[in-house]
């Protein structure tokens, strides 16, 4: 996926004033609405997955590419910012609905500085409804970087991003009628394969791209 497809246009002076005044919901909505025509023009997005492969000698799998349609339908439904200086958390609730599926993401961002290092923590709840299957995922993303040095020649320090696998929980629910034994067997198989094979390879693939986007957003 080209990183340029994910960069929002520059926010105007009037919108920037609204952000400075603390109207974070308006700020998010304005930036996303400004980017929506670019996202719509780029559909369907094509994601290169040639580096994803895995399995065992008895069963192997690989992927070449994936296409994503409907990205311009993404909506930020609610943004809440903390109102005290000691609490800088920012909560974002969003939905992404297409004719085939619905994705809901609730994320709370929190950051703090200690011993020359800035830490960003983002617990997230994800719900994906695909046809008659509902998948729920609770996870946490943690990123750290050194405090940026002052001076015009200073460069943005690199991010170190960590996925907290030990804090992950997942659930799979079928919305249509199936036998209980079939549902439980498929649920256990899916969770085992996701935790021990698929996610590690996906995370290794997207880590660099996520880091660049996170650094771009936080650095302004």
Q: How many domains does the chain have?
A: 1
**Composition of the chain by helix, strand, coil, percent to 5:** 35, 40, 25
CA–CA separation, 163 and 137 (whole Å): 13
CA–CA separation, 135 and 4 (whole Å): 29
The pLDDT value given to residue 6: 30
Instruction: State the residue range of the domain holding 166.
Output: 43-219
CA–CA separation, 119 and 138 (whole Å): 20
- Any idea of the CA torsion for 45, 206, 167, 215, to the nearest 10 degrees? -100
pTM of this structure: 0.52
The pLDDT value given to residue 195: 66
Position 21 in a domain = no
The pLDDT value given to residue 201: 64
Position 16 in a domain = no
In the block, tokens 């400004």 appear at 34
The pLDDT value given to residue 199: 66
DSSP H helices in the chain: 13-20, 24-42, 180-193, 199-219
Spans of the chain, pLDDT less than 50: 1-18, 20-21
Position 173 in a domain = yes
Position 18 in a domain = no
Position 36 in a domain = no
Position 93 in a domain = yes
**Closest of 53, 61, 56 to residue 204, by C-alpha:** 53
**Closest of 203, 131, 127 to residue 171, by C-alpha:** 127
The pLDDT value given to residue 123: 84
The pLDDT value given to residue 178: 58
| Chain Cα centroid distance, residue 80 | 18
Rounded alpha-carbon distances, angstroms, from residue 164 to 1, 143, 169, 190: 24, 10, 11, 20
CA–CA separation, 146 and 113 (whole Å): 9
The pLDDT value given to residue 70: 76
Position 69 in a domain = yes
DSSP 172: E
206: which residues sit within 8 A by CB, 6+ positions away? none
Position 133 in a domain = yes
Task: Categorise residue 151: left if φ over 0, alpha if ψ from -120 to 50, beta otherwise.
Answer: left
The pLDDT value given to residue 118: 81
């Amino acid at each position: 996926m080209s990183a340029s497809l994910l960069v929002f246009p520059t926010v105007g002076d009037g919108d920037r004033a609204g952000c400075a005044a603390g109207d974070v919901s308006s700020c998010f909505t304005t930036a996303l609405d400004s980017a929506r025509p670019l996202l719509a023009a780029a559909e369907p997005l094509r994601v290169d997955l040639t580096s994803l492969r895995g399995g065992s000698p008895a069963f192997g799998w690989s992927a070449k590419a994936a296409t994503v349609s409907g990205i311009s339908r993404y909506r930020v439904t609610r943004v809440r910012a903390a109102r005290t200086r000691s609490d800088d958390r920012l909560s974002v609730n969003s939905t992404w609905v297409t004719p085939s599926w619905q994705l809901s993401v609730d994320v709370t961002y929190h950051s703090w500085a200690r011993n020359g290092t800035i830490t960003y923590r983002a617990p997230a709840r994800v719900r994906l409804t695909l046809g008659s299957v509902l998948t729920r995922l609770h996870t946490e993303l943690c990123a750290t970087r050194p405090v940026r040095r002052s001076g015009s020649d200073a460069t943005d320090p690199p991010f170190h991003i960590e996925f907290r696998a030990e804090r992950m929980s997942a659930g799979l629910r079928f919305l249509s009628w199936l036998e209980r034994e079939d549902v439980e067997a498929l649920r256990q198989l899916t969770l085992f394969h996701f935790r021990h094979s698929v996610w590690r390879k996906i995370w290794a693939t997207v880590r660099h791209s996520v880091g660049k986007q996170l650094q771009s957003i936080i650095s302004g």
